Amino acid sequence: MNFEGVHTPLVTPFNADGEINHDLLGKHAADLAGRVAGLGIGGTTGEYYALSFDERVRTFNTVAEAAGGKTVLTAGINATTTKEVIRLGQEAKRAGLSALLVAAPYYAQPTQGELLAHLLKVDDTLDMPIMLYNFPARTGTEISDGILETLLERPNFIAMKESTGDISHLHHLATRFGDRLVLSCGMDDQALEFFVWGTRSWVGGASNFLPEAHTALFDACVKRRDFASGRELMAKLLPVLELLERSGKFIQYVRYGCELAGLPVGAARAPLGSLSEEERNAFAQIVKPLMRNDQ
């Protein structure tokens, strides 16, 4: 288990009444299973924070049934308490998922000592490969060097999705931990920079609707080390990725991207709203040319 390649954090499709469309979720997972290196269930893109415990568990089972054995499946199990994280992890393990994505519990803002105890407890209880998720803008708590030093003494802590957006922090992680930690790009508009610094993993929300464009960039930079081609490919993707990362409407744009790709996944759950007609039209203009090549 090395988390290499493009991993798609699956969007959660909703019906018009706001309930999860499990048939569409399974279909989407099965379709992507042969097109990317792995799938994530219960990540930010899937709006895990807006789902009940039972809804999250059912999404694990839906994707496992649709795509299990066809690709790597990673369960996002973040929650506000250690008990809830472990319960979710146990359900993911029961469903047969391959690995876990674990962030700092959001809103609670534990100290670094408390966060370390939390992560060790999760590992002690679940004993599964883990990708950490460093996203302090959402969780309120960073995963520090001190925590990494301790966790990397254990075999299950393999990777970290780095989503601070701070290029200097990417440099720091790559030079200090690069030989012990699989770094995964978690800031999509910086993917090229991550690859230059040796990253071999990318968890990209827009791969829900542009999987081939993502894998083409990954293959050029990581597999062939052809950064001239990588720059050309990134230049085409960059307007889409910058809008997702910088607009404050990441989930809404991913959902509309899926609609443009022929996969209507419904609106985000409130309090998130929908895109304006102007936003939809502008996004379609930059996405549709990429979709013609994303087959």
Closest to 157 measured CA to CA, from 180, 133, 131, 125: 131
CA distances 258 to 54, 210, 255, Å, are 25, 9, 5
Segment holding 8, helix H or strand E: strand 5-9
Segment holding 227, helix H or strand E: helix 227-246
Closest to 230 measured CA to CA, from 183, 184, 197: 197
Measured in whole angstroms, the distance separating CA 269 from the mean position of its chain's CA atoms is 19
Instruction: State yes or no: is 133 an active-site residue.
Output: yes
Query: How far is it, in rounded angstroms, from Cα 74 to Cα 60?
Result: 9
Single out the catalytic residue among 70, 106, 107, 133: 133
DSSP notation for 79-144: -SSHHHHHHHHHHHHHHT--EEEEEPPTTT---HHHHHHHHHHHHHHH---EEEEE-HHHHS----
Extract the tokens encoding 38.
């792995």
CA distances 87 to 11, 65, 93, 234, Å, are 22, 20, 10, 39
Single out the catalytic residue among 48, 93, 161, 249: 161
DSSP notation for 25-76: HHHHHHHHHTTSSEEEESSTTTTGGGS-HHHHHHHHHHHHHHHBTTBEEEEE
Extract the tokens encoding 151.
């966790």
Q: Which residues are catalytic?
A: 133, 161
